[in-house]
A = this chain, B = another copy of it.
Amino acid sequence: MATLSDVARRAGVSPATASRVINGSSKPVTDELRERVLAAVAELQYVPNAHAQLLARSHRSAVGVIVHDVSDPYFAEITRGLQRIATDQGRLLMICNSYRDPDRELEYVELLRGHQVAALILAGSGYHDEAFTRQLNEKLAAYGATGGRVAVIGRHEHSGDAVMPDNRAGGYLAGRELCGLGHRAIGVVAGPRILTTTTDRLAGLRQALGEQGRELPERRIRYAEFDRDGGAEATARLLDADPELTAIVALNDSMAIGALATLRARSLAVPQQISVVGFDDMPIARDVTPALTTVRLPLVEMGVRAMSLVLGAETPTPRVEVLPAELVRRDTAGPVPRAAAGSAPRARRGDPSS
């Protein structure tokens, strides 16, 4: 690889001058030398060593981002928002997938710190895990102490700036909608119980049912992976245990799509026989059939806010921005079926007694 001094030598100038030309320094350089340097750069196909540059320059410009998985639509949307602001400000993003592995999350914080990022953004649910949370906060604090900025998206256990989707209100919205449609036997297809996102959404749901004087018993909840297959599997388990269910709330849209797949496999008509409500409103939600009724979260906006927070002026006290959830009515949630409303259990498929 050609180096700066190769270029300088070839152009017959000092490395200092070469550097100034290449970086468009404010220091003036005569046109003749400039030409010579540029020619040498082209001839040698010179590209500056980014590590050397980063080392030599003092100011850090890249921003580190830790998400569960960029290719998961939830995070893809958030990332889009992050990118928008970062690009506007000419900043590079280093994106890391933790795949919801706490250890990997911790490692990535170190990695990014080592890469001298100017700021760190963690997106995705927190964990009900004291030890981990403490460790993470220590690392973040250490990073903050050396001038790094930190923001989290959707995890409240951290002490710095935060952007919070209102998961609880979203759960409430889903619950109220279903209650309003007359459903009483509501099952929940939930993500891992260790995630705060799961418990927050569940809490909102509970509150909505509570206002109707009802409960959400544990037997009507199934915890599984927060993805399509998890949703499919949890739905199957739920249905096996509780065939008279008239509605299912999936705690994210991927799970809802899995739920829909299971219902289709069992020939249960949505929403005529059973209603489904998702969560997040990822883009695909409108394209499944029937189109998914879901709780929308302003994902892109969340990314935008978080990046703005972290690149903006530092405030003495951490800021927490709560972004509202919103119900999007589409075609998977309908009124409770007659039979069920009269509280006669629906015939169980394959049940010999029916």
Query: Does the CB pair A50–B287 fall under 8 Å?
Result: no
Name the residue on B nearest A92 (C-beta): B111
The one of B54, B55, B115, B228 that contacts A283, using a Cβ cutoff of 8 Å: B228
How far in angstroms is the closest Cβ of chain B from A147?
8
Interface hits, A45-73 → B, CB 8 Å: 45, 47-55, 70-71, 73
Smallest beta-carbon distance A57→chain B, Å: 10
Query: What total of chain A residues lie within 8 Å of the partner, measured CB to CB?
Result: 39
* Copies of this chain, count: 2
- Cβ–Cβ < 8 Å partners of A76 in chain B: 70-71
A55 touches which one: B1, B52, B110, B288 (CB < 8 A)? Answer: B52
Within 8 A of B (CB), among A217-234: 228
Identity of the chain B residue whose Cβ is nearest the Cβ of A50 in the assembled complex = B114
Residues on the B chain within 8 Å of A47, using CB = 110, 113-114
CB neighbors of B among A275-322 (8 A):
283-284, 286-289
Given pairs A50-B114, A50-B116, 4 additional interface contacts (CB within 8 A) = A45-B139, A51-B116, A53-B114, A260-B287
Q: Which residues in A have some Cβ–Cβ distance to B below 8 Å?
A: 1-2, 45, 47-55, 70-71, 73, 76, 79-80, 95, 110-111, 113-116, 139, 142, 146, 228, 257, 260-261, 264, 283-284, 286-289
